Structure 1
Amino acid sequence: METMTTTTYAAAARARGLHKVYGEGETRVLALDDVSVEFPRGEFAAIMGPSGSGKSTLMHCMAGLDSVTSGSATIGDVELAGLKDKQLTRLRRDRIGFIFQAFNLMPTLTAMENITLPGDIAGRRPDRDWLARVVDAVGLADRLRHRPGQLSGGQQQRVACARALAGKPEIIFADEPTGNLDSHAGAEVLALLGSCVRDFGQSVVMVTHDPVAASHADRVVFLADGRIVDELRSPTADSVLDRMRRLDRVG
């Protein structure tokens, strides 16, 4: 029987001394340089930084979408390093939700079929009560039989949010979830992510370049040159923008 390495934990996700290197020799790039950070349970956190700072790399490494060069990344009590492919797939399926900028919906499936797709692939019967709560939260009860091409961008992203929520994940990783949306649709998605934390007790970690989006978070972590250089609690759009301007001047 397969086993997973466990650690004492109080965080939804944790990185310790994380390094990520791409390439070798002259093409070597140090994307993450000794990063240590925790994302507590029940927190909405944002990761920000200049282009090339390593923010998406950090999220991908902590979510098990990319391997680390050295250091450790854990989801709850599970250390990701050394997990076999099947274990990692099961962990991502059962404990993590993902939301991406490009929605990643199947165009031939209805909204409801997209929402339940991960569970269907895993052969799991949906929790109907939970699914009803999720559908109510995203406000798409009257659009569930529509295919993505019949939905607006904001509606498609709300379907993607519902898909991430449907499996009752402990933590949701969102990579630029409002990047393809107008300000109104983006605000709806951010409000939904906030309700995931407040109403469902989940944790959200969002990569964004938008100070307004980041202001919806409880805490913002700032990266520059692959290192964590600052953090801000109870952010406002202005305070986030001010920190980003300082980072740009230093860079």
Structure 2
Amino acid sequence: MPEPSHRATVAQTVRDAAHPAVRAVGLRKTYGRGDAVVHALAGVDVEFTRGEFTAIMGPSGSGKSTLMHCLAGLDTASAGRVFLGETELTALKDAELTRLRRERIGFVFQSFNLLPVLDAAENMLLPLRLAGREPDPAWREDVVRRLGLSDRLTHKPHELSGGQQQRVAVARALLPRPDVVFADEPTGNLDSRAGAEVLSLLRGSVREFGQTVVMVTHDPVAASYADRVVLIADGGLAGGLTSPTPDDVIDALRTLGA
């Protein structure tokens, strides 16, 4: 997997915006009761800057995926507050939260989550169609071209490689121009070459489009594509890194017992 670049980018011009893209205040998530209680998140305060690529890392069971799911409105917090820009997700009703996720949040998952009956173009446009919105033709063409999917638009998922399917998933996340793209182990089902392509695409979406990306990963090389790494252990913040290298990440995880 090639080494990423951390050169100054257009996205850096928006990093001093008044409000972070997403933040959590006193975030708690508890499972079970009594002696079986598990504190997956134990009062987390964290912010994610606009136009920045952040990786969340930690040992298995540290709460990193739970944190991302609560930040993205995919799971409900037991206590605390989550804000997307100035909108409090934790104060929204179910219908409002569903609409917000559809319009302002993009998702890229390990398993791609493409509908097998739809071709690549239809899968890309699905969130917009569900929201009753039409894609901006110039933006759609730009995203498709940059992701190298122009000659794959009529292919069904089973006709695409794993890397191509994940590129479709990245396009699907970017086309609505979301406030934040959340990526949950996006290279977990890919070989090293396809994984590098997807990470470069996410990195490029930050550099070229000013996109905000928050990624959960266990891979130090994947994390090194990020501007910043947030470390989680035992349901709480355990430090962080800026402009990380794979060796930096490995050393930091070693201190956490990962």
Alignment-derived partner of residue 162 in structure 2 = 153
Deviations 1:131-174 (A, max 9, x none): 11110121110011000000000000000000000111011000
CA distance in 2, matches of 1:140, 1:202: 20
Q: Which residue number in structure 2 is paired with residue 197 of structure 1?
A: 206
Amino acid at match of 1:15: A
1:24 is matched with: 33
Provide the rounded CA distance (Å) in 2 between the counterparts of 1:74 and 1:82: 9
Query: In the alignment, does 2:166 pair up with 1:134?
Result: no
Superposition pairs of residues 52-131 of structure 1, within 5 angstroms: 52-131=61-140
2:187 corresponds to 1:178? yes
* Alignment partners' CA distance in 1, 2:26 and 2:196: 34
CA contact (8 A) 1:9 1:77 kept: no
Query: Which amino acid is the alignment partner of residue 125 of structure 1?
Result: E
Which region of structure 1 is more displaced relative to structure 2, 24-33 or 110-119? 24-33
Q: Which amino acid aligns with 1:62?
A: L
Q: Say yes or no: does 1:165 pair with 2:161.
A: no
**What is the SS of the residue equivalent to 1:142?**
coil
**Structure 1 residue 239: deviation in Å?**
0.7
Do residues 36 (structure 1) and 66 (structure 2) align?
no
RMSD: 1.1
The alpha-carbon distance between structure 1 residues 9 and 74, as it changes in their structure 2 partners (threshold 3 A), is farther
> In 2, distance between residues paired with 1:147 and 1:245?
42
More displaced stretch, 160-169 vs 18-27: 18-27
Deviations along 1:159-218, one digit per CA (max 9) or x if unpaired, are 000000011101100000000000000000000001111111110000000000000000
SS of 1:37's equivalent? strand
How far the C-alpha of 1:9 sits from its partner, in A, is 5.4
For residues 79 and 137 of structure 1, the distance between their equivalents in structure 2, rounded to whole angstroms, comes to: 33
Which position in structure 1 is the counterpart of 2:22? 13
- Percent sequence identity over matched residues? 63
For residue 27 of structure 1, report the CA deviation from its aligned partner. Answer: 2.1
How far did residue 82 of structure 1 move?
2.2
The within-5 A match list for 1:191-230 is: 191-230=200-239
C-alpha distance in 1 between matches for 2:104 and 2:36: 35
Letter in 2 for 1:27: A
Aligned-pair distance for 1:238? 0.7
Report the TM-score when normalising by structure 2. Answer: 0.92
**C-alpha distance after superposition, 1:113-143 (max 9, x if no partner):** 0000111122211111111111012111001
Cα distance, 1:26 vs structure 2? 2.4
Tell me the distance in 2 between the aligned counterparts of 1:152 and 1:140.
Answer: 12
**2:54 partner SS:** strand
Q: Which segments of 5 or more consecutive residues in structure 2 lack a partner in the other structure? A: 1-16
2-side partners of 1:82 and 1:22: how far apart? 21
Runs of 4 or more above 2 Å deviation: none
Q: Distance in 1 between matches of 2:128 and 2:35?
A: 44
